Amino acid sequence: MSLYEKIVNREEKISLIGLGYVGMPIAVAFAKKVSVIGFDINEEKINLYKSGLDPTKEVGNEVIKNTTVDFTSDAKRLKEAKFHIVAVPSPVKDDQTPDLTPLKSASRTLGRNLTKGSIVVFESTVFPGATEDICIPILEEESGLKAGVDFKVGYSPERINPGDKVHTLENIVKVVSGQDDESLDIIAKVYELVVDAGVYKAESIKVAEAAKVIENSQRDINIAFMNELSIIFNKMGIDTKAVLEAAGTKWNFLKFSPGLVGGHCIGVDPYYLTYKAEQMGYHSQIILSGRQINDDMGKYVAENTVKRMIKANKQINGSRVAIFGVTFKENTPDVRNTKVIDVINELEEYGVEVLVVDPVADEDDLLNEFGIKLSKINDIENVDAVVFAVPHDEFKEIQLSDIKHFYRTNYSSLNIAAREVAATTEQAINNVEDGYVLVDIKGMFNRQEAENVGYDYWRL
């Protein structure tokens, strides 16, 4: 009987190593069909899962309560499984070079608990060659086993889009690869258990690794182009969104939009590819140029916010700005590598007090990683500018008229004498209206409507 058949018959188990935004949905999906051990070194996270809470918000508390995933932080339990999926983060260091620490650590932990006849599949983003040149030697060293003989290895890049309830594990074609034909066949069959869209068998592990990094590099470059267009059109006094809507009427125009590019994929993966290219003696031109543009957009947004405030006669040092949204993208609590932090840091360099509102963000991660404490929306008052950075669904319910209550210059916050003065002349009223600096990074609101009701509106 093959390993695949034993897994289907629940005679052997699958383990998921790393239960974050990627690993958890995979574990839950497989648990509907086979026996799954869910392992993570974070004991606190494991306890949350055991109590039926989903800190990632990827599958929801109800699903976690009812899943049959066997959650554990005991690495020795990995010996009970024969098919292992490694889905740990693969970030970059401060110098933008790959940080393989989590991947190496997971490989060591698994290696110490690896048994003969096992298959190990890595899902973490890596540069081509990392699985075979870095991970396999660690597994062999820790286990005392020989890859290709005592155990097999494969690579299947994760394609889950955090916060996306449409493009999920089940309906995205899964790229799979293996050390040899036998392992590739088993890996493909195992993933076909949960991936309704089917699998694509890559011809080698390196091909699968390369496919992953270019997927996000391509998207990164396209967004960088949109960001550069936004900078150019801003100088020309042209609305970028209006231009893109007009251009988008052509059938083959690629519909990307400008924005802050963060997170653990698009803002990171290109550096894995360029790092490997540098090792091979090639200096990337297009990829790194795109990265530079996208990495600078947080500063660009902050500078334009300050410029609008200056034009509105605001004293910058000591002013207050409210930022709505701090996660790396909408409708996910994930704050890893969020570029909203760049906006905040740059504003603070100008002496601005920044208040951050985000009903979705993981408060503990935000406080631990960035030292930022969230404010409640009801606490926002007397600010000099409002920045909508992330278009969470909750924010889309906010009306333009509601936003005015947050400002220092709206009538509700003016003292009685100032109100009387403002009411005496039309010019004074216009000056009050000029105080409503509204920065809408992703274009949540209608520009014309915002300007018609008195906002000094700006967006990418």
Instruction: Determine the pLDDT at residue 22.
Output: 87
Going from the C-alpha of 450 to that of each of 80, 232, 301, 432, the distances in angstroms are 60, 23, 19, 15
Q: Which residues contact 127 (CB under 8 A, 6 or more apart)?
A: 98, 209, 213, 272, 273, 275, 276
pLDDT at position 430 is 43
Query: What confidence score (pLDDT) does residue 166 get?
Result: 67
- The predicted pLDDT at position 162 comes to 65
- Residues 218-233 have a mean pLDDT of 96
Instruction: Name which residue leads in pLDDT, 94 or 187.
Output: 187
Q: How far apart are CA 456 and CA 442, in angstroms?
A: 16
Greater pLDDT, 240 or 336: 240
Burial class of residue 195 (count of CB atoms within 10 Å of its CB; 0-12, 13-18, 19+): buried
pLDDT in tens, 399-457: 999 999 999 854 443 343 343 444 443 443 344 445 799 999 999 999 999 999 999 99
pLDDT in tens, 159-203: 876 666 666 778 899 999 999 999 999 999 999 999 999 999 999
Structure confidence at residue 169 (pLDDT) = 77
CA distance 446 to 208: 42
In the prediction, which pLDDT does 381 show?
A: 93
Q: Residue 296 has what pLDDT?
A: 95
Mean pLDDT lowest among 215-224, 297-306, 361-370, 410-419: 410-419
Q: How confident is the model at residue 351 (pLDDT cuts 50, 70, 90)?
A: very high
Residue 238 confidence (pLDDT) above 80 = yes
Query: Computed from CA positions of residues 431, 433, 437, 443, in that sequence, does the dihedral angle turn out positive or negative?
Result: negative
CA 402 to chain centre: 29
Q: What is the dihedral of CA 428, 430, 436, 438, to 10 degrees?
A: -160
Q: How high is the mean pLDDT of the chain?
A: 91
pLDDT at residue 171, rounded to an integer: 86
pLDDT of 118 higher than 90: yes
The token pair that represents 244 in the structure block: 């893109």
Q: What percent of the chain has pLDDT over 90?
A: 82
- State the Cα–Cα distance between residues 44 and 24, nearest whole angstrom: 15
What does the pLDDT read at residue 410?
Answer: 43
pLDDT at 105 exceeding the cut of 90: yes
* Confidence category of residue 57, pLDDT binned at 50, 70, 90: confident
Helices 205-236, 297-311: crossing angle, 10 deg rounding: 20
pLDDT value of residue 417: 38
Spatial distance between the Cα atoms of 377 and 324, rounded to a whole number of angstroms? 9
Output the pLDDT for position 337: 87
Sequence letter at residue 248: G
Residue with tokens 């995979």: 26
pLDDT value at residue 423: 42
Residue whose tokens read 């590019």? 261
Taking every pair of C-alpha atoms in the chain, what is the biggest distance, in angstroms? 89
Q: How confident is the model at residue 342 (pLDDT cuts 50, 70, 90)?
A: very high
How far apart, in whole angstroms, are the C-alpha atoms of residue 337 and residue 265? 9
What pLDDT sits at residue 88? 95
What is residue 239's predicted lDDT score, i.e. its pLDDT? 94
Catalytic residues: 265
Quick one: pLDDT at residue 424? 41
* Amino acid at site 82: K
Lowest mean pLDDT among 97-106, 255-264, 422-431: 422-431
Q: Is the dihedral of CA 296, 299, 305, 307 positive or negative?
A: negative
Q: What pLDDT, on a 0 to 100 scale, did the predictor assign at position 336?
A: 85
Give percent above pLDDT 70 in the chain. Answer: 93
Dihedral (C-alpha) 25, 393, 294, 308: value to the nearest 10 degrees?
Answer: -160
The structure's pTM equals: 0.87
